[in-house]
Amino acid sequence: EAQLVESGGGLVQAGGSLRLSCAASGFDLADYSIGWFRQAPGKEREGVSCISSSDGTRYYTDSSMGRFFASSDNAKNTVYLQMSNLRPEDTAVYFCALDSSPWGARICDVVSQWNYWGQGTQVTVSS
């Protein structure tokens, strides 16, 4: 059964760093665009960073630009989100997602487009 399993969330102080991992089984990451999303309490799920499988183009929001970095290790079939200089407003459940569209960076703001999701990992940033 194909699945995505996130890990690496936790409690961190403002200004700290975390690296989230997403282990993909049953997928060949080279065939999928990769996305990281988050959902804060009472808010809609939103894209944080996405990578197009076609050419590696990365998309970042204004909030994540310069602080977050998405990457993948195809040999390990694992996707990562390195987060630094974390802020209390980054507190959310973070999800990884895959989609067969080769233009993932273009659809990072269209949550409904993404077909495969992990269960999420909680990130809490204290002030």
Rounded mean pLDDT, 87-104? 97
**111 DSSP 8-state letter:** G
pLDDT, one tens digit per residue, over 5-30 is 999 999 999 999 999 999 999 999 99
Provide the percentage of residues in the chain whose pLDDT is more than 90.
Answer: 98
CB-based contacts of 96, cutoff 8 Å, min separation 6: 4, 6, 20, 22, 34, 35, 36, 37, 79, 81, 117, 118
Predicted pLDDT at 1: 84
Beta strands in the chain (DSSP E): 3-7, 10-13, 18-25, 33-39, 46-51, 58-60, 68-73, 78-83, 92-99, 116-117, 121-126
